[in-house]
Structure 1
Amino acid sequence: MMPDKKYDVIVVGAGTGGALTAISLAEKGVKVLLLDSKNEKLIGKKVCGDALGLHHIKNVKIPYPPNDTFKSRLDFVKVYSPSSKYSVTVEGEGLALDRHRFGQWLLGMALDKGAELMADTKATTLSYERGRATQLRTVYKDQSVQSMRADYFVDASGYAATLRKQIPETVGIQKEIPLEDVSVAYREIRWVEQVEEPGIAKIFLDQDLAPGGYWWYFPQDEHTLNIGLGVQGGRNVNPKDKLREVVRRRDDLQKSSTLDAGGGIVPTRRSLYSLVAKNVLFIGDAACTANPIHGGGIGPSMLSARACGGAIVK
């Protein structure tokens, strides 16, 4: 075992929220370590709807993302009734992100500001002394073990909630999230001959196809589409099978082809009653900050990251 290292803050998870937390801290001179189980070149790559409202960029005060970090601009969102006969337009511009490149851009900013990265490294055991977290045990990809100490620890590990699940019972924060409080999602990036209404993101509240959730149609450009579906957990419904049904029903998707596919779990409930347990803080999906109405998680994770960084600095 290697000797302990000491940091001001250790952030577990270098995704959108984790990277922005590190940016918020490092730009104030805080000694911060980012940990991620992925290889550095894969950080940011995640299954997602990939849509982000521009107001979130403004609210967290980061530069406008470079052109190569998003596929296109979205003009507004249309939300369709269960019958699809009626729709409501939700005004507000957004970006169809290239999630991988966007994540790499944020990570690069964090490193440029002085944050340190340990990729290919899993956070395992969080140790406590006199009620406060003091040390984190990690395992590198070659199975070497290292323990690191810090004054603060941030759980940005997403739904896995690696640190949240280890906090003492006396803290009162919910460790496990019930299945009915999550959305089980599956999405595909598809090539199509012609995307229907490029620039308009569409959400369909069809409870037959997506019980307890919805399916989405998010254009990335004129020929590429992010199409996915989320269902409420615990209903014994396979979202992949339901998305196949969506594709079968739509004439414009009959000649489409799948470029990428994957699934995931998103907490779609109230946030944790507190995002702080003494010197352990929670952001993003580890704190259940995704919007409980539409499940969007990127923007709320960024807002929670800025709040977390600001609280630690103070």
Structure 2
Amino acid sequence: MARKIDNKVKINNVKLIIDRKVTVEEVAYKLGVSTNNVRHWLKVYIGNQKKKRMRLIAGIALLLIISVPIILFTIFHNKTKPVSEPVVQDKVAEETTDVKTNTDKKSIYNGMGKVFIDPGHGFSDSGTEAPEEFGFKLTESEVVLKISKRVVEILEANDYDVVMSRTENYDEKQEDKLYKISLTERVRLAKESKADVFISLHINAYEESNNVNGYDLYYCEKDDKYNEEAEKFANKITDKFIKKTGIEKIRVHKEPRRSSYQVTRQTTMPSLLFEMGYATNKEDAKRLLDDKFLENIAMSIAEGIMGYLTEIYSM
């Protein structure tokens, strides 16, 4: 008498075969049935999936048949509106060219692409800090995380897929006081995410002098095609940063492999490391405590990323 196998069990095992996690023979042995039975399940499942796809395609086609005349009518109707409504038209144009910052306005960006945001340091590694003589506290890991989270909010409001290397400064139970995310782990996470772009956010320091200041953007020199894309990505960030913050210049560094940062050297997508001022310079450090300045930084980074992704996905 043939053994009865639950349909759910059949489907789960067939999926494992399709995903190449197990073989037909292994499933047959595991369930105590013949390989012919397993092959029959596989054939039935694939047939059902094809039918589902065909029904979906037919549904989409029907929707298009119904909606195209409506769209064409709407376009024609709008074109034939009298020119006596300039104020309304201007308002619509303004709304459709804005950027979503957690509002209902339409975005000029297409929402295509995945982004990996790496807030530097974190957990037991606080990064650089402002000198005590400045009279205020500034910790790199906290500031870059604050900016990163705001960048993520803006990107997600504009329908972009975003992955972060960390979302907190502490481990879940506060048990491991030595825990930190290694650079190798950050690179691994970025590669596994299959992101289109990568940006690591930091604050610089120069212990020998408090006079050194400014903003630095780094990418690793690789092949010509990569360099062209990384430079294009960097230019999108610098252009937006200068416009949003009023800062006159960002230094863009094309680093040779041997002396480049690990997170820009070992990642495969266009990758940048952004040093957003010097904690050891009082003027830079004060700016990094100003919420308005941080918002402008976040907006410039988000808009630079969206501008680059919109451009490459429009080609």
TM category, shorter:
under 0.3
Higher RCO by CA contacts (8 Å cutoff, separation 6 or greater): 1
Looking at CA atoms only, which structure, 1 or 2, has the larger radius of gyration? 2
- Relative to total residues, which structure has the larger helix share, 1 or 2? 2
- Relative to total residues, which structure has the larger strand share, 1 or 2? 1
Name the TM-score, length of structure 2 as normaliser.
0.27
Name the TM-score, length of structure 1 as normaliser.
0.27
